[in-house]
Amino acid sequence: MKHNNNNNSNTIIDAHKKIKNMEIRGAGRIGRAVASALKEYSLTIQNIENNEFKEKMIEAGDILKSARPTAVSLPNAVNYVLSGLNTNNPKENIILNAEEFIKSSSEATSKIGKIGSNRIKDGWTILTHCNSEAAISVIKTAHNSGKNIKVICTETRPRNQGYLTAKALADEGIDTTLIVDSAVRYHIKDVDIVVVGADAITSNGCLVNKIGSSQIALMAYERKIPFLTAAETYKFHPKTIIGETIEIEERAVGEIHEFEEKYKDKIKLRNPAFDITPSQYIDGIITEIGIIPPQGAWHIIEKYFGNVFKETL
Ligand SMILES: O=P(O)(O)OC[C@H]1O[C@H](OP(=O)(O)O)[C@H](O)[C@@H]1O
């Protein structure tokens, strides 16, 4: 399917392209976008045997999974939807699974908001990094419950997603300040709690999130300020439980800087999109089933992705 112009495959190619170029971004949105693309694609496949249908859906899932390597919401959403293939009514179940994933993902974000907002006290200043729906849900819920809060948003170079967060919070009437990434330590004395999102949580409770998250966690630790990550259960990485590591996406260096011709071969650029925050710097993982300590990550993976053991061992 990869490079043909078959109309049926356009949905998948289009979703792959939009995720890769970050037109669709944010771990949760990516998960819902692939669920929706698989549903739409399955509806376009007509009059074929179940076996052939299965092959086409697996191929579509593989294409989607290859769009970006780090956010585990992507393969988790694909696998959740495609588990419908192992039933007597594969198409029907793919559609049901896709709808279920999209609904439960949105519900999880609002539950995380309710649970996480309990950790925020009236008068507090929250620092957040990048642009996370789950972290924003926590902040907005605290604000909507009448707490007088302030938020400091990091710019989040190179793609400046922090500006999206700042606009979303300012639109809610929240007292919002945007700072450059290198100003976190300067401002940390004013911060009461850090809340960020998650692209993946490993079985040993480490957080994989937007580049710069781990520096912020270190600074929060130094000041004894709680550092929390808001992560739906589908952001836990099932294969880390069997020893797989998570690939950190390196994006095009043009996102950072365009050098003058003279320096193009003289100055190297690197653009890793994510980093890893060790579990000892994380005070809690806010999930839709409660705030768990990082040490509880193994249990979440075992509870929600137990089949990984059966399939691989
Ligand atoms: O799912 P939600 O909470 O929206 O976002 C989770 C994370 O996804 C984003 O990645 P990118 O901007 O797609 O690279 C950020 O790293 C953010 O913290």
Q: Ligand 1, from 164, 199, 229: best to mutate by most atoms within 8 Å of Cβ?
A: 199
Domain match, 140 and 57 both: no
- From the list 154, 243, 247, 156, the residue with the least C-alpha distance to 194 is 154
Q: Which of 86, 108, 130 is the last residue of a domain?
A: 108
Question: Rounded CA gap, 206 and 139, in Å?
Answer: 22
Is it the case that residue 311 has pLDDT exceeding 70? no
Q: What percent of the chain has pLDDT over 90?
A: 93
- Cβ atoms within 10 A of the Cβ of 189, count? 8
Is 244 a domain residue?
A: yes
Confidence of residue 9 (pLDDT cuts 50, 70, 90): confident
Question: Rounded CA gap, 13 and 6, in Å?
Answer: 10
pLDDT at residue 310, rounded to an integer:
65
Q: Comparing 4-13, 20-29, 51-60, 208-217, which segment has the lowest mean pLDDT?
A: 4-13
| Average pLDDT of the residues in 177-192 | 98
Domain match, 172 and 236 both: yes
113 marked among binding-site residues: no
Is 2 a domain residue?
A: no
Q: Is the CB of 195 under 6 A from ligand 1?
A: no
Is 103 a domain residue?
A: yes
Closest approach atom of ligand 1 to CA 161: 12
pLDDT at residue 8, rounded to an integer:
58
Is 35 a domain residue?
A: yes
Confidence of residue 4 (pLDDT cuts 50, 70, 90): very low
Domain match, 127 and 252 both: yes
Q: Comparing 100-114, 124-138, 253-267, which segment has the lowest mean pLDDT?
A: 253-267
Summarised one tens digit per residue, pLDDT across range 204-242 is: 999 999 999 999 999 999 999 999 999 999 999 999 999
Question: Rounded CA gap, 11 and 59, in Å?
Answer: 13
Domain match, 57 and 164 both: no
Domain match, 142 and 271 both: yes
Q: What's the CATH number where 283 sits? A: 3.40.50.10470
| Average pLDDT of the residues in 33-39 | 98
Is 1 a domain residue?
A: no
Yes or no: say if 131 and 283 are a contact pair by the CB < 8 Å rule.
no
Is it the case that residue 61 has pLDDT exceeding 90? yes
Is 55 a domain residue?
A: yes
Domain match, 150 and 271 both: yes
Protein residue whose Cα sits closest to atom 3 of ligand 1: 132
Yes or no: say if 11 and 5 are a contact pair by the CB < 8 Å rule.
no
Q: Is the CB of 132 under 6 A from ligand 1?
A: yes
Domain match, 139 and 273 both: yes
Q: Put the strands of the sheet holding 274-277 in their side by side order.
A: 200-201, 207-210, 274-277
Domain match, 103 and 136 both: no
Protein residue whose Cα sits closest to atom 13 of ligand 1: 26
Question: Rounded CA gap, 49 and 278, in Å?
Answer: 48
Domain tally, the chain: 2
Q: Which of 108, 132, 150 is the last residue of a domain?
A: 108
Is 258 a domain residue?
A: yes
Q: Which residue is it, tokens 């836990």?
A: 236
Q: Is the CB of 161 under 6 A from ligand 1?
A: yes
175 pairs with which residues across the strands? 150
Is 52 a domain residue?
A: yes
3-state secondary structure of 267: coil
Summarised one tens digit per residue, pLDDT across range 118-163 is: 999 999 999 999 999 999 999 999 999 999 999 999 999 999 999 9
Where on the phi/psi map is residue 146: left (φ > 0), alpha (ψ -120 to 50), or beta? left
31 marked among binding-site residues: no
- From the list 284, 99, 305, the residue with the least C-alpha distance to 194 is 284
Is it the case that residue 31 has pLDDT exceeding 50? yes
Q: Is the CB of 288 under 6 A from ligand 1?
A: no
Q: What angle do CA 97, 103, 106 make, to 5 degrees?
A: 135
What ipTM does this complex have?
A: 0.97
- Cβ atoms within 10 A of the Cβ of 39, count? 20
Domain match, 53 and 200 both: no
Is the preceding peptide bond at 226 cis, omega within 30 degrees of 0?
Answer: no
Question: 15 CA distance to ligand 1 centroid (A)?
Answer: 17
3-state secondary structure of 281: helix
Yes or no: say if 231 and 201 are a contact pair by the CB < 8 Å rule.
yes
Q: Which of 65, 80, 108 is the last residue of a domain?
A: 108
Domain match, 167 and 242 both: yes
Q: Give the residue numbers marked as catalytic.
A: 130, 199
Domain match, 141 and 48 both: no
Closest approach atom of ligand 1 to CA 135: 3
Q: Is the CB of 273 under 6 A from ligand 1?
A: yes
Domain match, 148 and 217 both: yes
Question: 42 CA distance to ligand 1 centroid (A)?
Answer: 27
Is it the case that residue 307 has pLDDT exceeding 80? no
- CA dihedral 36→236→307→99, nearest 10 degrees, is -20
Whole-prediction pTM value? Answer: 0.95
Closest approach atom of ligand 1 to CA 25: 13
Domain that holds residue 246: 118-312
DSSP string covering 14-75, please? HHHHHHHTTSS-SHHHHHHHHHHHHHHHHHH--S--HHHHHHHHHHHHHHHHTS-SS-THHH
Q: What's the CATH number where 65 sits? A: 1.20.120.420
Question: 6 CA distance to ligand 1 centroid (A)?
Answer: 32
Protein residue whose Cα sits closest to atom 18 of ligand 1: 197
Closest approach atom of ligand 1 to CA 133: 4
Question: Rounded CA gap, 17 and 63, in Å?
Answer: 10
